[in-house]
Structure 1
Amino acid sequence: MKKGLIHIYCGDGKGKTTASLGLAVRCAGRGRRVLIVQFLKSQDTGELHTLEKIPGIMFLRGEESFGFYKQETNEQKEQRRIIYNKILQQAISACCEGQVDLLILDEAVASYNYDLIDRLLLLEFLRTKPEGLEVVMTGRGPAEELLDLADYVSEVKKVKHPYDKGIKARLGIER
């Protein structure tokens, strides 16, 4: 890849993370190195079991389980903020050291909106990222400054979802 671009997969529909992981598989299938960073997700999910087996795909994610952000105390939010900024810094370092061709920042948009990651650090990184690095961010409601930096913005729109009928996430489909 000569020129790396910035992607945002946003919207209220199901499939933002799934789309980014599809790109990870495509990229790794061409012998490129992928780093997937997950914010707001620490639970065991089916895709991790498969992606961990693919050469060239690496993960950075918090091991701590915080629960739902909106139900957390200020102390828990601050603890999450510290962990997420450490993970973000590790990802940026790996990218700047030339270890990554595709960086996926899953739920970075929500983490940015909730002020769980250093906004200035992320913005500066996106502005000055290595030339060939491709970056994908996922999440709902991207801020205008993120949209301005993006080369791709794809919105996944919910038309209908089983959760609306009380059907919870199913193993192997939603988790």
Structure 2
Amino acid sequence: MSEEKKGLIHIYTGDGKGKTTACVGLTVRCAGSGRKVVFSQFLKDNKSSELNILRNIDNIYIVTCDKSFGFIFNMSEEKKAEAKKAYSQHLLNVINKVKEVDADMVVFDEMIASYNYEMIDREVLLDFLKNKPEKLEVVMSGREPAEELVNLANYVSEIKKVKHPFDEGIPSRPGIEK
């Protein structure tokens, strides 16, 4: 396979705003070139505004988790176990969709936190990354990626916060942060 057609692994990380925005931008760029993209979010409530427009693009396949569990730090151990089961199944659903549609790109938004907090079966993700279809571009986002994920990645881009309105008490706003 030519280097041009070889899929690589991307990580967007850091404490700044823009990780999901970068994922959405790559999704649109890839779909705009006629390729098929599977877009998924972990640890989110499936209400992010970008999903509204992405659902209207024919060659973008949105795979959502059936349940929302809120913030990890608010979960009981029982709820964490339930969330891990749901998100691990969600990961399998995304992988199955990638195979089903012969996707050119898959986006795992907030996969890094899912991995770090063990909200998914880590071995399933690592196996997928190590044995992914050769042409598949894989995009993951989240803070503080584990060393094993960084080692598998071809791109690691850090988005650094210099200043953010949240620090001034301004909550997330529709169309900008959510």
Same fold (TM over 0.5): yes
Matches within 5 A, 1:65-80: 65-80=68-83
3-state SS, counterpart of residue 137 of structure 1: strand
3-state SS, counterpart of residue 160 of structure 2: coil
Structure 1: 4+ residue segments shifted above 6 A? none
Q: Once the 2 structures are TM-superposed, how far is the Cα of residue 55 of structure 1 from its aligned partner? A: 1.3
- 1:112 aligned partner: 115
1:150 aligned to 2:153? yes
1:17 aligned to 2:23? no
- CA deviation map 1:120-158 (0-9, x unaligned): 111111011000000000000000000000000000000
Q: Residue 53 of structure 2: which of 50, 53, 67 is its match? A: 50
- 2:171 aligned partner: 168
- CA deviation map 1:88-113 (0-9, x unaligned): 11222233445211000000000000
> 5+ unaligned residues in a row in structure 1: which ranges?
none
3-state SS, counterpart of residue 122 of structure 1: helix
Q: Distance in 2 between matches of 1:43 and 1:128?
A: 28
TM-score of the superposition, structure 2-length normalised?
A: 0.94
Task: Return the letter of the residue paired with 2:156.
Answer: V
Q: Is the 8 A contact 2:116 2:146 kept in 1?
A: yes
Query: How large is the Cα RMSD of the aligned pairs?
Result: 1.2
3-state SS, counterpart of residue 132 of structure 1: coil
Q: Residue 33 of structure 2: which of 7, 30, 33 is its match? A: 30
Q: Is the 8 A contact 1:95 1:130 kept in 2?
A: no
1:94 aligned to 2:90? no
Q: Is the 8 A contact 2:44 2:70 kept in 1?
A: no
Q: Distance in 2 between matches of 1:171 and 1:131?
A: 37
TM-score of the superposition, structure 1-length normalised?
A: 0.96
Number of matched pairs: 175
Q: Once the 2 structures are TM-superposed, how far is the Cα of residue 63 of structure 1 from its aligned partner? A: 3.5
Greater alpha carbon shift after TM alignment, 70-79 vs 59-68: 59-68
Q: Distance in 2 between matches of 1:74 and 1:64?
A: 17
Q: Distance in 2 between matches of 1:141 and 1:36?
A: 21
Task: Return the letter of the residue paired with 2:161.
Answer: K
